[in-house]
Amino acid sequence: MPRRMKRANQQTRIGLFAAILALLVIFLPPAKGQIGRPEGLYYKSWGVVIGINDYLVAPKLTGSVESAKAVAAALRDLKFDEVMEVYDKEASSRRLHAILNDYLPRKVGRQDRVVIYFAGHAGTMRDVTAKEIGYLVPWDAQVTNATKAVTLDHLKEFSRRVMGKHVLLFLDAPVSDWDVTPPQQLSLEGRLSPEDETDKRSVQVLTAANKGEAVAHKGGRSVFVQVLLDGLKGPADADKNGWLMASELGAYVKQRVTELTGGAQHPQFARLDGDGDTVLVEGKKGTFRSQEPKSDAERIAAATREYDEAFSLLQQQRPAEEALARLNKAIEYNPAYGDAYVLKSYIYLEMLPKLDEALVAGELAVKYAPENPDSHYTLGLVLQKKGQYAQAEKALLQAVAVNPSYTDVYLTLGDLYATDLKDRQKSIQAYQRYLETGGTENRVRTYLESAGEAPTAPQQ
């Protein structure tokens, strides 16, 4: 699946900290149950802001703590009741796991809102099934060792355990490969009428970049955070109705960061659980959304919502036809929605095999989203399957021209050269580049060794 579908103290003092933490666990009272509906959207809003510059063993960073403090200030401006700030040594593996595994699950009620922000290193590992898992690197952990890390699986488990109505993760790091689970029904007391969108549970994540991409900085602060903070002040409210939703902010950040970095950085937005949408700024009652969008801004916002829903349906393994209907609606609202054509092309390529329809959608994706490497990658896959190998090569080369670190494209190029175009030298070059950008397929190493070439090591 293309990328858009498809993240302490020092050892001598840890003992004292652990003892203090144990006392807190024993003596802090459990959270009281929340019965019925709050007068507003939430009973309580919780923020946890984590920033790490001065890593103990990992390479040091600049700007993470400053960015995190700016986000903490923004959450307070949004009237969050509790904002916990965790910086440098305080952001140890033990502390972060305690916050996720104990503190928030005990304190957060079912009608609460939770926003977690992390700025620091991220990494990836492969489990015993060769599945790639992303992770966040605490203060006392190594980038290349996930032993102390906060993995995406840890964050998913946290999202299942915490009772909050809306949970939103902002990760100022290149994290991807989220494995989305189907929404779970929540039993809420006092429910006398059907839920509207703001009442439905949701767990959503917005990351600064995709796997392997660098996080750009300007003026000592990440571009992702600059755009995020700007969006929270109002520009992200696409339909200009006074309500700022996480889906609107995600669409705004994705578009602006991609533009400001010249296509080198692609934020990722996904729904991990539920059918709702986190409210960041509450507008007036009755102005939430009109039945049908009227202005250009409303149509673009509606198209984004339809696309996000299609994306979520696929990740929940719902019938592909349902996702396709959403994508067609998105394109009806915004005929120039390039990312919608990318996903539509993929569905026709892999899930509802119709190569002619896949080709049409792929060509429209390239037309309307040439800055998205997945536009060219998906078109290349379609052309390869149709036997148009020269055109496939051209599309795949354009994908890596847009993103020179796109590992999967180099693997496809290597296969194209080795199997279809019978160009041994180019296949070797593509496979070497695949390994240099982090690829781990053993068959590639075997091929190179059989060709008398020493496999290259990944770039650091």
pLDDT tops 70 at residue 211: yes
According to DSSP, the residues that pair with 54 across neighbouring strands are none
Minimum mean pLDDT among 208-222, 282-296, 412-426: which range? 282-296
- For residues 182 and 122, the model is more confident at 122
Mean pLDDT of the region 334-352: 94
DSSP 201: -
CB 297 within 8 A of CB 184: no
Residue 245 and residue 117 share a domain: yes
Last residue of a domain, one of 258, 289, 320: 289
Tell me how far apart the alpha carbons of residues 225 and 301 are, in angstroms, rounded to a whole number: 22
pLDDT tens-digit readout, 189-210: 322 333 355 678 899 999 998 8
Does some domain include residue 296? no
pLDDT tops 80 at residue 380: yes
Tell me how far apart the alpha carbons of residues 222 and 58 are, in angstroms, rounded to a whole number: 19
CB 355 within 8 A of CB 321: no
Range(s) of the domain holding residue 144: 41-184+197-289
Mean pLDDT of the region 59-74: 95
Last residue of a domain, one of 289, 320, 346: 289
Does some domain include residue 397? no
Minimum mean pLDDT among 162-176, 342-356, 399-413: which range? 162-176
Does some domain include residue 132? yes
Does some domain include residue 161? yes
- What pLDDT sits at residue 289? 52
pLDDT tier at 24, thresholds 50, 70, 90: very low
Tell me how far apart the alpha carbons of residues 216 and 224 are, in angstroms, rounded to a whole number: 8
Does some domain include residue 213? yes
Which CATH number do you get for residue 207? 3.40.50.1460
CB 118 within 8 A of CB 151: no
How many structural domains compose the chain? 2
pLDDT tier at 134, thresholds 50, 70, 90: confident
Last residue of a domain, one of 289, 317, 340: 289
- What pLDDT sits at residue 39? 56
Average pLDDT value for the chain: 83
Q: Which of 185, 170, 295 lies closest to 241, judged by CA?
A: 295
Does some domain include residue 436? yes
Q: Which two tokens stand for residue 25?
A: 């666990």
Does some domain include residue 326? no
Does some domain include residue 173? yes
pLDDT tier at 31, thresholds 50, 70, 90: very low
CB 159 within 8 A of CB 184: no
